[in-house]
Copies of this chain bind each other. A is one copy, B any other.
């Protein structure tokens, strides 16, 4: 990388940037950051935001400064990068299975005793325990429960209790709590349906937490929730630590789920865009930009939405091309014009870039490395 973290960019403006470029509107970002932080203070919930959305230590630091108790990470490399940057309270929210990852985990846990990792399987618990013992580490674990996503996690109730009992008997592991991430609930369209979905999922988590308590096992930390359910989970009868991640950026996928009493979910503003350049005008009704499927993730069924000019219809035009249908556009666009697009899905889009240009108005205030992008070898 040819820049330094946090270095001043002098008089650099958006107009100086080569495109496609990932742009963060700092005013909007700070408003999102502060809104979630004050909500956490007001509703007395802990926030451990998920950094898989940004993979950026500078942003993680800002979240900690705003009151977060730590951060969540999805991968071992994200954990390594965040730890290296001095971010405390790291929770790895995916199971780490197999010797290569477990060995790397031990190196990290030795240096960062507050590190936590989720487990959902007795065999994995046995391997982690063995490694922890060999490395003279006491490893903090949370049991991940399956509260409806059916991809990872123990079934609520007895299966979770049984795994908790295995952990309780294992001196090199320390059970810190339960993870109940209802990913399926995060994007349920309409606030009321989403509320019902999340409440049903979280009820299973609370019941299991009580079952463990009845059997003498404290699993005090209950972590889960999302940007879509922050104002649902924080109202439940029971303390949930929130893992919300996307709230700092927002995207089309979240915007369409609807808010409390509104069709669009606008509790947080769309702070993240991709800046592109019109590189061709093949006909009067069409323009082509230099942002294609290596500039936006394509995992959602929405096309990027042009923020600069209304009613432009974007369609994928290849690795480095987006095709713009201008038939209904509010105005014409010219060759060389720079257009910003709101992104369909923030997490995997950020993962395509090496840095975020943090801008205020037109001015590039800082360039933030997306240091945990990709998978760190090996």
Contacts and interface: CB of A to CB of B under 8 A. Distances in A.
A126 to B, nearest CB: 11
Contact of A2 (B318, B319, B377): B377
B317 A100 contact: no
A166 interface: no
Nearest to A18: B100
B319 A282 contact: no
A163 to B, nearest CB: 12
A345 to B, nearest CB: 9
Interface string A1-33: 111000000001001111111000000000000
Interface stretch (A196-204, A257-265, A290-298): A290-298
Interface of A is mostly: loop
A12 to B, nearest CB: 7
Interface string A351-376: 11111010000000001000001111
A139 B321 CA distance: 24
Contacts of A376: 2, 354
B319 A347 contact: yes
A150 B321 CA distance: 11
A104 interface: yes
A-B interface, 7 closest residue pairs, ranked by CB to CB distance from nearest: A152-B280, A298-B299, A151-B317, A97-B279, A95-B279, A18-B100, A293-B299
Interface in A258-293: 277-283, 286, 288, 290, 293
A63 interface: no
Nearest to A318: B183
Given A353-B374, A354-B376, 10 more contacts: A16-B378, A17-B100, A94-B321, A96-B279, A120-B282, A151-B282, A152-B280, A152-B321, A294-B351, A319-B347
Contacts of A378: 3, 12, 16-18, 21, 355, 357, 367
A195 interface: no
A194 interface: no
A374 B354 contact: yes
B98 A280 contact: no
A282 B3 CA distance: 44
A122 to B, nearest CB: 10
Contacts of A12: 378
A97 B151 contact: no
A244 to B, nearest CB: 15
A138 interface: no
Contact of A281 (B121, B317, B318): B121
Contact of A277 (B18, B97, B123, B151): B97
Contact of A16 (B100, B286, B320, B323): B100
